[in-house]
Amino acid sequence: MVIIDTPMRGWSHLAATDLDELHDFAQRLGLWRSWFQDKPNRPHYDVRKEHYHHALLLGAKPVKRRELVELLKEYYEKG
């Protein structure tokens, strides 16, 4: 499942618990692989607000920023 948080200051974060799914989704959204942020427990793409609605149309689940961080920490700390 791909998730995206609500834009703040013009930016959102696109994330998923499956990195292959995340990279495939990001490519369909038109993001460059070099934009991937490989952060411990919270790998994500930084996404400009202009891409937010397109990400939703492609199937990303909207969440609040705190939810995104909690979901990723929970998943990646288990693994």
Query: Which CA distances in Å does 49 have to 9, 11, 20?
Result: 9, 5, 23
User: How sure is the predictor about 74, in pLDDT bands with cuts at 50, 70 and 90?
Assistant: confident
Domain hosting residue 64, numbered range = 2-78
User: Does the pLDDT of residue 79 top 80, yes or no?
Assistant: no
Q: How many domains does the chain have?
A: 1
Q: What is the pLDDT of residues 2-58, one digit of tens each?
A: 999 999 999 999 999 899 999 999 999 999 999 999 988 889 999 999 999 999 999
Tell me, what's the pLDDT at 12?
96
Q: Give pTM, 2 decimals.
A: 0.91
